[in-house]
Amino acid sequence: MENKKTVRLGFLGFGAMGSVLAEGLARFCPAVKKGELLLSAYAPHADKLKKRAEPLGVEVRASAEELAQSADMLLLAVKPDQTESALKGISASLDGKAVISVVNAWDLSMFRELLGDGVRVQCAMPNTPVAVGSGTVILADEHSLRADEREEIEEWFSCLGAVVSLPGAKMRAASAISGCGPAFLYMVIEALGDAGVKNGLKRQDAYRLAAATLVGAGRMVLEGRGHPGELKDAVCSPGGTTIRGVAALEEAGMRAAFIRAVDAAGK
């Protein structure tokens, strides 16, 4: 069997999103474990970078320029307002290479205007559960990667959970669900935990029950066990406890609250 070519993936930016992506790849991606995908990173705060990168086996680079020169592919994980300045000094070193951007609100046309046609770009939007192999990575349909590069990153990201390809115009709405959604659902877990404590459960037991129940309900949907409404109805016996709880949530405006949250996050 022919050995795959080793790819050096450099993370420019290693904050919350960059570090969880690296963690997920280090833990769950076979290409990393086989040495076919080598991870390196640069971020301005050297001490913080070293603390996050070294336990994952991610090599630390001394500068953005060194990272760009040594990497075959760059993963850009900086804040939107830092993007132009982060790329300005290293654009020449990126010529002929591919960039995966996880920068919110930047699309392919913006990168083309900044970097020109010599840099191939894929916009992506992961969420933080990629760190535990149960995340979501949204890939924009519009990209300038070679076919083999697109196939390669889909293979890497599929180790981290679900990979969903969408038109770029839909990325903002989608990331309001998958990117912001974990925060909304942590609030659900916390609220159910509070309810459990109110009714006599120990807090950690209540949180564990709530979190495990959320994971299980999600798997039922993902494995095609039925429409969410059908699955909800299957738990609601006539005159039973669950339907009373469902009625209370409806009276409290639960559906409208989630819709408003996604609307607000997607603006």
Beta sheet of 73-76, edge-to-edge order = 59-60, 37-42, 7-12, 73-76, 98-101, 120-126, 135-143, 161-166
d(CA 79, CA 105): 10
- 1.10.3730.10, 3.30.1220.10, 1.10.150.530, 3.40.50.300: CATH of 181-265: 1.10.3730.10
Which phi and psi (to 5°) does residue 141 adopt?
-60, -40
Nearest by Cα to 42 from 56, 63, 24, 23: 63
The CATH 1.10.3730.10 portion of the chain extends over 181-265
Tokens of 262: 């996604």
**For the chain, how big is the Rg over CA atoms in Å?**
21
Tokens of 117: 């046609």
pLDDT in tens, 197-234: 999 999 999 999 999 999 999 999 999 999 999 999 99
Nearest by Cα to 210 from 224, 198, 196: 196
pTM of the model: 0.92
Tokens of 192: 């159910």
d(CA 10, CA 19): 12
d(CA 177, CA 172): 9
The CATH 3.40.50.720 portion of the chain extends over 7-167
CATH H-level, domain 7-167: superfamily? NAD(P)-binding Rossmann-like Domain (3.40.50.720)
Nearest by Cα to 23 from 49, 67, 55, 71: 55
Q: Are 62 and 42 in contact (CB under 8 A)?
A: yes
Residue spans of alpha helices (H) in the chain: 16-28, 30-33, 46-53, 64-70, 83-88, 91-94, 108-115, 147-158, 171-178, 181-198, 203-222, 228-235, 241-251, 254-265
d(CA 104, CA 194): 33
Which stretches in the chain have pLDDT values below 70?
Answer: 1-3
d(CA 5, CA 9): 13
SS3 state at 236: coil
